[in-house]
Structure 1
Amino acid sequence: MKHREILLIGILPPPINGQTIAFHSLSKELSCEILTLSGQRHENLSGFLGKSWTYLSVLVTLFFKLIRKKYVIYHTISQSKEGFLRDFPIVILAKFFGSKIILHIHGGNYDNFYATQNDILQKLILKMLTSANSIIVLSEGLKKMLDFAPTLNPKIKVVNNGLAWSASSKYQKIKRLPSNLQIPINILFLSNLIESKGYWSVLEAIEILVNQFKINIQADFCGEFIHYDDAIRFENASDAERHFFEFISKHQLSNHVKYHGIIDEQTKIELLQKAHFFILPTQYKNEGQPISIIEAMAYSCVVLTTNFRGISEMIEHHKSGIFVEYNNPNSIVKQFIHLIENPQIFEKISQNSLQKFQEKYTKELHLKQLVEVIKSHTKPQNAIDFHSEIAFQFQEKYKKSKQFKERYFVWTSLIDKYIYPDMSVLDVGCGSGIFSHYLATKKCKVTGIDGSEKMIELCQNNYAQENVTLSFLQDDLPFQNHLKYAKKEAIICSSVLEYLPDYKKITIQISQILNANGILIVSMPNQDCWYRKIEKYIFQITGKPDYFPHLKQVVKAEAFSKELSDLGFELKELQYYPNTHFYTKLFHYIGIHKKYTHTIFVGVYQLNSNH
């Protein structure tokens, strides 16, 4: 199997925000195909029509790419209804054609976004998220915003944001406050001027510091005035901008406050180098882990910000920054005065700020972690890797999937019929441990074995507190040394042998572990079923079912039973399943035998006493 190619889908600047900056940085790091959702592709269209044209162009381009090859697709997703309606078709289309999907959430509001949607949209959101192979969030604390869907937890990866450029150590010096009162203390607000980002509180704090405390301040505001629906003070961006300049004029701050608008990278670096304080008292609803704070830490600025979302893990109060209250300019003033009166504390925080940046938020570290997550999905998987990745979802299928519920019914019925209390049982390829646990509740002495460490970990976590005779072990299949296991009175093997290149070897080992007259219950994919004859063509078109690349064996029940007979096994009972699809029920209704319509057979075999 070849390594999959990578396809990045996202928005490049403009607009300039944390998400677009991060996507631009990643696009420069990886030599791969890119589909951008930004810009307009039709010279005669603008506004909504222009964006719609761009989006439809991306969907059409994506469609033709997907029918030619299966990718690892990285896509940054939105935390708004409009953004979701854009993201959903992209993800579902990619999933349908068998590409692997990595979703990146650049924010911390996904739980609130989900909670405010109607039932239909919530189901669609869950469909999109569960289609992903990995979901990247910005910090450990932000994992909890996906608690509304616990099955997503194994898919969540944490990758901190990082600086968009490699900061030169030449300019990463510990900041010191000016001892000469003629030299201004420099304050920087570097973010889009959104009301909930707190820029107005910064402006009001500057007015107090300048006019009441007579402190020599030079403040730089950088970013675009943007209006969001959480705004309270102003009706639109133009109104906010007008009041901003009116406040500066009214309070005679023209010599102390400068508005730069949108700035380029070089200007940004120059402002960061001269700034003593960086202030961002935010409660912006989509806030996650602000890149602007990372930029400030990279240049040793002392950060004054709110204890909000991912910022809580970026800043240690009075160590690598200072927490202030939201919408409270006096809180900013109080902390500012404390620091200029204690310059040694200011310098220590400046030093710690830079150190925290170097430990967690450099460009190199961010891209290394992000690329590792993406490239981990490009490598061909073996069956163990595949089942490790889906361990938690596999367990949940027994609760939600009709096919798995039928599988559970068939297997537990056979267990009840042929395996009795106090029997010693080996569950070979135990998976999530559901049948091991069922046997243990019947007072059997059970050992579950699986090749996947994650499956074994899941089993141990699920059943560690159970008052039953049940243990789980990780071991290779076929066994490296099957004789280390004590003789068993029964062995079960559910949907395992089909993933082994040589299943005959393990059937020999099983025959040597079983006691005389011991019971073997084993399932295999049914080669007589019509679906199995076209399964590979379905996979070539759709990339489904996911397990197909790992499927090594598809056999006829008669041939398989003959092989076991040669090892001394006698067939006691044979069943076919599942019968949950409408076409299997239809074919069975018109008289077609189950062996031609059902995809799996399970047989019960007894080892002859003279074996």
Structure 2
Amino acid sequence: MRMLFIGPLPEPVTGQSLACQIFLDELSKKYTVDVINLSKRDFSSGIDSLGRIGEVLAYIWQARRKSRMADCIYFTISQSISGNFKDILIYLACFDKLPRMAVHLHGGAGMRELFKPSNRILRALNRFFFGRIGAVIVLGARHVDIFEGIAPVDRIHVVPNFAVDPLFVDEATICLKFDRVAPLRLLFLSNLISGKGYIEMVEAYKSLDSNTREQVQIDFAGGFQSQEKKNEFLSSIDGISQLRYHGIVGGVRKLELFRDAHLFCLPTYYPYEGQPISILEAYASGCAVMTTDHSGILDVFANGRNGYCVEKRSPDSIRQAIERAVAEPAALCRMALNNRAEADELYRTDRYNARLVHIVEQLK
């Protein structure tokens, strides 16, 4: 079988580009795969330059040419208005192959906004194409209703995200980590962009009493949207030894940060959030998790079982969660062990890839 794969690949590394690479690697073991790489140079959303417009036109030309030879198409779709217009043009370029196309939504919150009833023209255009597309893949049950009135319900498939195998640790390692909680290690590992909650993390730490601050260390890792934003952040933590920025990490360093962390923190309200892979990576690494009820997170997270659910945009809610974590390390350990078990059962890459391959193969 010959497949056309349309989606962003690293670099830069995002949850979506990582997921695309993992599935592309699996497909390449079995099939002949043509690739159209939609990756951008940075973390911005939309089509914001003449250069980007040229890239998009090239994508559409490639989609038209390569789709003619494809038996099936896998396409990861956008959540911005301009990105959706690009997707519509790609649907048009692949029109004859839409019944053999699987589209995969790696976000959720942004697409819900895009498809709200007031966007009548966009809803109508997407309904026309989604009525012909063979399969729609979402990350969790909370995202199924995004496509209500847009795509036939029987063509919507739920496939949760994953954690890669090297991140999984054994129970003994987790227990040993929680025997040493001085200091309690908190980890924010995500791209440091607006809405991810990293600014609120700093504000929450600064609002702790001096005794609690001494018992906590927060490690930040990830990329910024701009050098200006990076400088602002570094200035905000300057002189605070308990707050550390490690840059963009991968490989061994990423594994070390996850394995040293007791509590992974992602208090996100990011407008294009889906189901953060970083949360599942934290599960595999034996961390409890602090996060929010946003987009599809509660499909994979329950307050009290997996960690602490905090309010969006609320340094005070984060502060309270940190204080609770410091006071109950034994409860944190129980949640971390539970998270490791859940990740092993539900969020292995083999399981993720097998589900996607099954969906795609049904389109032949």
Q: Which residue of 2 aligns with 1:95?
A: 95
Deviations 1:40-99 (A, max 9, x none): 9xxxxxx834433433333333323334x3421000000111111211121222123566
- Quote the offset at 1:133 in angstroms: 0.6
Deviations 1:4-56 (A, max 9, x none): 5221111111222111110011111112222212369xxxxxx8344334333
- Quote the offset at 1:210 in angstroms: 6.6
Q: Which residue of 2 aligns with 1:60?
A: 61
Shift of the 98–225 alpha-carbon distance from structure 1 to 2, 3 Å rule, reads closer
- Quote the offset at 1:117 in angstroms: 6.5
1:207 aligns with 2:216: no
1:20 aligns with 2:14: no
Partner Cα distance (2:354, 2:115) in 1? 30
What does residue range 538-549 of structure 1 map to in structure 2 within 5 Å? none
* Alignment length (residue pairs): 353
- Quote the offset at 1:114 in angstroms: 1.8
From 220, 244, 247, give the equivalent of 2:236: 247
Letter matched to residue 122 of structure 1:
R
Larger radius of gyration: 1
Shift of the 210–73 alpha-carbon distance from structure 1 to 2, 3 Å rule, reads farther
Partner Cα distance (1:332, 1:152) in 2? 40
Partner Cα distance (2:158, 2:242) in 1? 40
Partner Cα distance (1:162, 1:77) in 2? 19
Deviates more, 1:237-246 or 1:170-179: 170-179
Partner Cα distance (1:7, 1:180) in 2? 49
Letter matched to residue 203 of structure 1:
V
From 253, 259, 267, give the equivalent of 2:253: 267
- Quote the offset at 1:290 in angstroms: 0.4
Partner Cα distance (1:83, 1:117) in 2? 18
Q: Which residue of 2 aligns with 1:222?
A: 221
Query: What's the secondary structure of 1:270's corresponding residue?
Result: helix
1:301 aligns with 2:298: no
Partner Cα distance (2:120, 2:310) in 1? 38
1:107 aligns with 2:103: no
Partner Cα distance (1:97, 1:324) in 2? 44
Partner Cα distance (2:199, 2:98) in 1? 49
Q: Which residue of 2 aligns with 1:402?
A: none
Partner Cα distance (2:222, 2:213) in 1? 27
From 241, 266, 275, give the equivalent of 1:289: 275
Deviations 1:462-516 (A, max 9, x none): xxxxxxxxxxxxxxxxxxxxxxxxxxxxxxxxxxxxxxxxxxxxxxxxxxxxxxx
Shift of the 332–27 alpha-carbon distance from structure 1 to 2, 3 Å rule, reads same
Q: Which residue of 1 aligns with 2:312?
A: 326
Deviations 1:246-273 (A, max 9, x none): 2223xx41x1112123222322111101
Shift of the 98–316 alpha-carbon distance from structure 1 to 2, 3 Å rule, reads closer
Query: What's the secondary structure of 1:288's corresponding residue?
Result: coil
CA contact (8 A) 2:169 2:285 kept: no
- Quote the offset at 1:197 in angstroms: 1.2
Shift of the 314–172 alpha-carbon distance from structure 1 to 2, 3 Å rule, reads farther
Q: Which residue of 1 aligns with 2:44?
A: none
Partner Cα distance (1:38, 1:343) in 2? 41
Q: Which residue of 2 aligns with 1:335?
A: 321
- Quote the offset at 1:282 in angstroms: 1.0
CA contact (8 A) 2:169 2:284 kept: no
Letter matched to residue 126 of structure 1:
R
Q: Which residue of 1 aligns with 2:266?
A: 280
Q: CA RMSD of the aligned region, Å?
A: 2.5
Deviations 1:441-467 (A, max 9, x none): xxxxxxxxxxxxxxxxxxxxxxxxxxx
CA contact (8 A) 2:212 2:323 kept: no
Q: Which residue of 2 aligns with 1:132?
A: 133
Q: Which residue of 2 aligns with 1:567?
A: none
CA contact (8 A) 2:196 2:266 kept: yes
Q: Which residue of 2 aligns with 1:8?
A: 5
1:142 aligns with 2:128: no
Deviations 1:281-318 (A, max 9, x none): 11111111001101111101110111222111211211
What does residue range 468-547 of structure 1 map to in structure 2 within 5 Å? none
Query: What's the secondary structure of 1:197's corresponding residue?
Result: coil
Deviations 1:382-425 (A, max 9, x none): xxxxxxxxxxxxxxxxxxxxxxxxxxxxxxxxxxxxxxxxxxxx
- Quote the offset at 1:111 in angstroms: 2.1
Deviations 1:524-554 (A, max 9, x none): xxxxxxxxxxxxxxxxxxxxxxxxxxxxxxx
Q: Tell which has more relative contact order, 1 or 2 (C-alpha 8 A, sep 6+).
A: 2
Partner Cα distance (1:347, 1:325) in 2? 23
- Quote the offset at 1:170 in angstroms: 5.0
Partner Cα distance (2:250, 2:178) in 1? 27
1:81 aligns with 2:81: yes
Query: What's the secondary structure of 2:281's corresponding residue?
Result: helix
Partner Cα distance (2:161, 2:275) in 1? 7
CA contact (8 A) 1:9 1:34 kept: yes
Structure 2, unaligned runs of 5 or more? 42-47
Letter matched to residue 133 of structure 1:
G
Partner Cα distance (1:122, 1:81) in 2? 11
CA contact (8 A) 2:218 2:243 kept: yes
CA contact (8 A) 2:98 2:134 kept: no
CA contact (8 A) 1:135 1:157 kept: yes
Q: Which residue of 2 aligns with 1:350?
A: 336
Partner Cα distance (2:196, 2:214) in 1? 24
Query: What's the secondary structure of 1:125's corresponding residue?
Result: helix
Q: Which residue of 1 aligns with 2:348?
A: 362
CA contact (8 A) 2:115 2:146 kept: no
Shift of the 247–167 alpha-carbon distance from structure 1 to 2, 3 Å rule, reads closer
CA contact (8 A) 1:189 1:278 kept: yes
Deviates more, 1:293-302 or 1:109-118: 109-118
Q: Which residue of 2 aligns with 1:173?
A: 173
- Quote the offset at 1:165 in angstroms: 4.3
CA contact (8 A) 1:188 1:221 kept: yes
1:30 aligns with 2:31: no
Structure 1, unaligned runs of 5 or more? 41-46, 227-236, 379-611
Query: What's the secondary structure of 2:322's corresponding residue?
Result: helix
- Quote the offset at 1:239 in angstroms: 4.8
- Quote the offset at 1:177 in angstroms: 6.3
Deviations 1:366-386 (A, max 9, x none): 1111111111212xxxxxxxx
Shift of the 14–294 alpha-carbon distance from structure 1 to 2, 3 Å rule, reads same
Letter matched to residue 194 of structure 2:
E
Partner Cα distance (1:180, 1:134) in 2? 48
